[in-house]
Amino acid sequence: MTGNCGFLHPSLILLVGAALLPLIRDPFRKPYLLLIPILAFLDVVFLNANPGTYGVVQFMGDWTLTFGRVDSLSSVFAFIMALMAIIGTLYGLHVDDPWQHVAAWFYVAGSLGVIYSGDYLVLFLFWEMMAFASTFLIWFNPDKDSLAAGYRYLLVHTFGGVILLLGFVLRYQATGDFSFVQLSEQHTNLSTWLIMAGLMLNAAVPPLHSWLPDAYSKATITGAVFMCAFTTKTAVYTLARAFAGFDILIYLGVFMAIFGIIYALKENDIRRLLGWEIISQVGYMVAGVGIGTALAINGTAAHAFAHILYKGLLFMTAGAVIKATGTSKFTELGGLYKRMPMTMLFLLVGAVSVSGFPFFSGFVSKSMIISAGFEEHLPLVGFALMMVSAGTFLVAGLRLPNLIFFGDFKGKQESYNQAAEPTWNMTMAMATASILCFLFGTFYPMLYAMLPNAGVVYQPYSSYHMAETLQVLACTALVYAFIKDRIGAKANTMLDLDWVYRRGGRGFLWLASKPLQAIDTAWGEAYRVIGLMPLMLVSRFWAWFDWHGIDGVVDGTARGVRGLGQRISCGFQRGQIQYSLFFTITFAALALLAFVWL
Amino acid sequence: MIVNLIEFLRTRPKLLSRCGYGIVAAIVIWSLIVIDRQHVHSLLEKIPGFWSFFTIISALVLLILALAWAKTGIETNEDYYDR
């Protein structure tokens, strides 16, 4: 990067690290795997200590790209993303396939790139990098459903990307400006709403949310740990950057907070339940962005920070259970406390953190957003979010641990017998996240010192707030004791808006394969008989003449080229579209990087 | 250690439920007696034990919403998309 001495983009560390990773062999592989995210994290810490605008490059004459806008809002998000990259990589350290780590690092690099970007072009570049890289985290799962789930995820995100692109190109046409800054709520037009919709799709705001539980329940075990942290919270950052104070986000946020809980109450898949829980928790953040006051934005940043840690922890424990038992269904789990007591302990730490128990991270972050709602004279918002607090404890604090670890094991006996604590690195990662959940909840000034608006004073540990929280928790537990059979494990699922494209897709397929295909076949046949056959005869003669006559006479170049082409196509064209996509995207990304940085 | 504690409590469901009720009662009584309600956000919160009522009603409302939503035909077999 030119022009700014001493600026090294943390994404660049991850990208170069990822490019070299397949070449690194044991015994250096594991240290290297930890080294790269730690270097990126240190780089983020260094940048955060030196705020400013870095990495400004001229692009194609009159456009200015900004790769490094380091200010109070981007700092806190970049910090937690880089920290989560270390924990996630530690959790996946036992995975031998280097490409899974490459995809994860590309994904984190995309997230950090979005967070530090200062204009829509750079944002869009890294936004798409995130979408494509995370798709591979789904495809690497050998499950039969994962390939289709990956395609659905990719298509939905490509759609969102196109909406975003439309939005900022329209805005550029009107204002001549690509800079990614706060938009005005008074002067909205089509471009504002398109940009908002594009960003909201990644934040899983209804009605653009169905991809989340669908994809996260089909990803690899380590992939889901990464995915639960980065996509939605990066989108929350972008919303906070451009749409703080937009009233519509308050209502959408409250709606998604309630909606997520309702689905999570009935879900039978661990990671689908946690996915719905993400939607519910991100609802708090979206509402916080909509409220838009200094306290609300601080609350949004704090909650995103806390959420990444405890949700990462919950996905890690879920992964440990799935890895140990081979199933993710509550109807095939239960009573695992004897086999996996450590995992249970970590899951409980995550569960009490998300439920907002005093001394755990959710307590000090969630309440900021609720207080901001009451202070802005939006009592209904405050009460609705308190209701969701009760629901969160019901779902993640009581239903989830109860169905996995207590009661009787409902699956096959052999999967109970084979269930055991996970590998050391997974345990270490869960322990680290657990300790951080406790640290940031108890020694909260550490977290508050990083928040974007420095002047705001907030005290979470007042006696009234303690009494309020403890009453909510105690009475929720009381209610659960009476209703737990009504939300027990059932081998059912809840339909959602993805029905439209999953079933609607079949209709399209039928249309394409039956009537349209018939027309196409008839047309093709007519063309072949009338047009193609005479043409082929003539050209076959000339090809023969060229190959045997001309090339033979000259120097045999054509034969050489054909041989090379065949060898390349054996390597790169395997007939599986995801590999073709992978090579194409990697090549495009490398070409773009070379163009920008060289 | 954790396993032993859970085993101990599992064999004594009466003790477990009594402990549970005891903790809930202690929290509610503590909030009724000790807490200063002068600086609350809204008038409703001045009602003693407001958050206890609020939580019980909220949890039931969420449950009823979930069950009612599931009943409309939204809840279906897990292999719905495989068929």
Cis link prior to A27 (omega < 30° from 0)?
yes
**Interstrand relation of A63-70 and B75-77 (parallel, antiparallel or unpaired):** unpaired
In this predicted structure, the answer to whether residue A597 has a pLDDT above a threshold of 70 is no
Q: What are phi and psi of A68, to 5 degrees?
A: -135, 80
Mean pLDDT over A540-555 rounds to 80
B contacts of A496 (beta carbons < 8 Å): 74
Residue A285 has pLDDT above 90, yes or no: yes
Per-position DSSP letters for A249-284, written without gaps between them: HHHHHHHHHHHHHHHHTT--BHHHHHHHHHHHHHHH
Distance CA A76, CA A405 (A): 35
Query: What average pLDDT does chain A have?
Result: 91
- Report chain A residues whose CB lies below 8 A from the CB of B23: 474
Residue A533 confidence (pLDDT): 84
- Whether the per-residue pLDDT at A110 is higher than 50: the answer is yes
pLDDT band at residue A367, thresholds of 50, 70 and 90?
very high
Q: For B21-35, how does the pLDDT look when each residue is reduced to its tens digit (9 = 90+)?
A: 999 999 988 888 877
**Per-residue DSSP letter, B47:** S
Ramachandran assignment for A539, one of left (phi > 0), alpha (psi -120 to 50 degrees), beta (any other)? alpha
pLDDT for A102 equals 96
pLDDT score recorded for residue A598: 61
Q: Return the minimum-mean-pLDDT range out of A145-159, A210-224, A428-442, B37-51.
A: B37-51
> Average pLDDT for residues A517-526, to the nearest whole number?
88
Q: For residue A1, what pLDDT band results from cuts at 50, 70 and 90?
A: very low
Q: Let me know the angle formed at the C-alpha of A136 by A430 and A502, rounded to the nearest 5 degrees.
A: 105
The residues, any chain, with a CB within 8 Å of residue A390's CB and separated by 6 or more, are A472, A475, A476, B55, B58, B59, B62
A482 to chain B: nearest residue by CA?
A: B60
Gap from A78 CA to chain B (nearest CA, Å)? 34
Residues A7, A68 contacting (CB under 8 angstroms): yes
Find tokens 């059979």 and name the residue.
A485
pLDDT computed for residue B70 by the predictor: 92
Residue at A218: amino acid letter:
K
Q: Is B17 on the interface with A (CB under 8 A)?
A: yes
Tell me, letter by letter, the H, E, C secondary structure of A106-123.
HHHHHHHHHHHCCEHHHH
Taking an 8 Å cut-off on Cβ atoms, the answer to whether A391 and B62 are in contact is: yes
How many angstroms separate the CA atoms of A243 and A469, rounded? 30
For residue A56, the cross-strand partners are A66
Cross-chain residue pair B20–A470, CB shorter than 8 Å:
no
3-state secondary structure of A451: coil
Q: For the residues A365-384, what does the mean pLDDT come to?
A: 94
Per-residue pLDDT, averaged over A552-565, amounts to 76
B68 has a chain A CB within 8 A of its CB: no
Contact status, residue A231 vs residue A462, Cβ threshold 8 Å: no
- pLDDT value for A580: 77
Backbone angles phi, psi at A63, to 5 degrees: -105, 140
**Are the C-beta atoms of residues A454 and A72 closer than 8 Å to each other?**
yes
- The predicted pLDDT at position A193 comes to 96
3-state secondary structure A125-172: HHHHHHHHHHHHHHHCCCCCCHHHHHHHHHHHHHHHHHHHHHHHHHHH
| Cβ–Cβ contact B32 with A under 8 A | no
Q: Which residues of chain A does B34 touch, with a Cβ-Cβ cutoff of 8 Å? A: 463, 467
Determine contact, residues A77/A115, Cβ cutoff 8 Å: yes
Per DSSP, the three-state class of B77 is: strand
Summarize pLDDT for B45-55 with one digit per residue, the tens.
Answer: 888 889 999 99
In DSSP terms, A69 is beta-bridged to A53
Contact B63 A337 (CB under 8 A): no
CA distance A407 to A397: 15
Which residue in chain A has the smallest CA separation from B9?
A406
Residues A163-193: pLDDT tens digits? 999 999 999 999 988 999 999 999 899 999 9
Q: What is the dihedral of CA A8, A13, A16, A20, to 10 degrees?
A: 140
- The token pair that represents A280 in the structure block: 């519910």
Q: Which residue among A258, A390, A495 sits closest to B59, beta carbon to beta carbon?
A: A390
Tell me the average pLDDT of chain B: 88
Question: Buried b / exposed e across A271-283, counting CB within 10 Å, b at 16+?
Answer: bbbbbbbbbbbbb
Mutation target for A interface from B14, B36, B58, B60: give the one with most A CBs within 10 A. Answer: B58
The pLDDT, as a whole number, for residue A5 is: 55
Domain ranges of chain A: 1-243, 244-493, 527-597
Question: Which band of pLDDT confidence, cut at 50, 70 and 90, is reported for residue A2?
Answer: very low
Tokens read off for A135: 């798709």
Of B27, B39, B56, the CB nearest to A479: B56
Would the CB atoms of A479 and B55 count as touching at under 8 Å? Answer: yes
Tell me what pLDDT residue A235 has: 97
Arithmetic mean of pLDDT, A282-288: 97
> Which of A333, A86, A87, A319 has its CA nearest to residue A219?
A319
Distances (CA, A) of A336 to A340, A406, A553: 6, 7, 77
Classify residue A329 by its DSSP letter.
B
Copy the structure tokens of residue A145. Answer: 């459903």
**Interface contact flag, A475 B70, Cβ < 8 Å:** no
Whether residue A419 contacts residue A336, with contact meaning beta carbons closer than 8 Å, is answered with yes
Higher pLDDT, A45 or A514: A45
Distances (CA, A) of B42 to A332, A371, A377, A461, B37: 46, 11, 9, 19, 10
Nearest CA distance, B41 vs chain A (angstrom): 6
Mutate to test the interface with A, among B3, B62, B64 (most CBs of A within 10 A): B62
Q: Give yes or no for residue A528 having a pLDDT over 60.
A: yes
Indicate yes or no: CB of A464 within 8 angstroms of CB of B67.
Answer: no
Write the burial class of residue B66 (CB in 10 Å: 0-12 exposed, 13-18 middle, 19+ buried).
buried
| Distance from C-alpha of A316 to C-alpha of A437, rounded to nearest angstrom | 14
> Is the pLDDT confidence value at A38 over 80?
yes
Q: In whole angstroms, what is the distance from residue A528 CA to residue A520 CA?
A: 12
| CB contact burial A544-580 (16+ within 10 A = b; e otherwise) | eeeeeeeeeeeeeeeeeeeeeeeeeeeeeeeeeebee
Q: How confident is the model at residue A596 (pLDDT cuts 50, 70, 90)?
A: low
Mean pLDDT of all residues in A247-270: 95
Q: Rounded to a whole number, what is the distance in Å from the CA of B16 to chain A's nearest CA?
A: 11
Longest pairwise C-alpha distance within chain A: 95
Tally the residues of chain B.
Answer: 83
CB atoms within 10 A of CB A190: 12
- Cβ of B66 within 8 Å of Cβ of A491? The answer is no
Strands A492-494 and B75-77, sheet pairing: antiparallel
Which residue from A93, A107, A387 is spatially nearest to A233, judged by alpha carbons? A107
Q: What is the DSSP string of A57-92?
A: EEETTTEEEEEEEE-HHHHHHHHHHHHHHHHHHHHT
At B2, list the tokens: 């954790």
**Chain A nearest CA to B66, separation (Å):** 5
For chain A, what percentages of helix, strand and coil (3-state, to nearest 5) are there?
Answer: 75, 5, 25
Return the exposure string of A406-433: e unless at least 16 CB atoms fall within 10 Å of the residue's CB, then b: ebebbbeeeebeebeebeebbbebbebb
Instruction: Establish if B33 touches chain A: CB-CB under 8 angstroms.
Output: no
Residue B5 CB partners (closer than 8 Å, separation 6+): none
What is the per-residue pLDDT for B73? 86
Average pLDDT of span A398-417: 92
For residue A236, which of A114, A104, A361, A325 has the smallest C-alpha distance? Answer: A114
Give the per-residue pLDDT at A370: 95
Q: Does B75 touch chain A (CB under 8 A)?
A: yes
Smallest CA–CA separation between A213 and chain B, in Å? 14
